[in-house]
Amino acid sequence: MKQPDVRTAALILAAGFGSRLRSAGSKPLLPCSGKTFLELVVEIVIEIKLNPVIVVTNEIFFSDIKKLKLPIKTVINKTPEKGMLSSILIGLEEIKKKCDGFFLCPIDYPLVKLFSYQTLLSVFDENPEHIIKPQFKKKSGHPIIFPKIFFDELKKAPNEQGARYVTNKFSHQTSFVNVHDPGILININTPQLYKKYCK
């Protein structure tokens, strides 16, 4: 596969407490396929040379994530109850504009395959001013790539809409990429789904 010419970051969102999964443990640290959710995601973004790799987490998970000794920068969202956008904004402060865009990677989607990330990155290389969204069977999922031209739009987004505000506003500047990977749709946020996919 062609080596991308753009520099792309990874922003991994791991600040939510996952109340429906709390009985199983801390979501970023839950085991799945022999590794934690976080390790599964970080392994892939490092493999495709995303840089920097920023993980936004909460104060409770922070020390345990640091113990994994992963090649990432971990920052704390002190008010994760404000929602996903609050973590995105903290991550953007770390990324700034040192890159051409970033993968938005919610920790709830640890089953996305390496080839899906590679495919999205390749499309972004050809369309560096487009939002890149994966699709499986005509349904869009995660991760999503946001180019740097939309960083300020994310900062202006209403909290109740979050990143969806930007993807809706700029639907004409969004590329949907078909991938044969149901993992882009599998949001592991209940004990039932965790047992189905990770046990």
Contact 142, 150 (CB under 8 A): no
Q: Is the bond preceding 143 in cis, omega lying within 30 degrees of 0?
A: yes
CA atoms within 13 A on the CB side of 146: 27
pLDDT digits (tens, 9 = 90+) for 27-67: 899 999 899 999 999 999 999 999 999 999 999 999 999 99
What kind and span of H or E run contains 13? strand 8-14
Contact 75, 55 (CB under 8 A): yes
pTM: 0.94
Indicate the class that CATH gives domain 8-198.
alpha beta
Q: According to the model, what pLDDT value does residue 6 have?
A: 63
pLDDT digits (tens, 9 = 90+) for 178-194: 999 999 999 998 889 99
- Concatenated DSSP letters of 146-193: EEGGGHHHHHHS-TTTTHHHHHHHTGGGEEEEE-S-GGGG----SHHH
Contact 51, 41 (CB under 8 A): no
Q: According to the model, what pLDDT value does residue 44 have?
A: 98
Task: Report the distance separating Cα 159 and Cα 118, nearest Å.
Answer: 30
Given pLDDT bands bounded at 50, 70 and 90, which one contains residue 73?
A: very high
* 199, pLDDT greater than 90: no
Q: Which of 17-31, 86-100, 168-182 has the highest mean pLDDT?
A: 168-182
- Listed residue (30, 33, 26) closest to 62, CA to CA: 26
* 97, pLDDT greater than 80: no
* 169, pLDDT greater than 50: yes
Given pLDDT bands bounded at 50, 70 and 90, which one contains residue 3?
A: very low
Q: How many residues does the chain have?
A: 199
pLDDT digits (tens, 9 = 90+) for 110-162: 999 999 999 999 999 999 999 999 999 999 999 999 999 999 999 999 988 99
Contact 14, 61 (CB under 8 A): yes
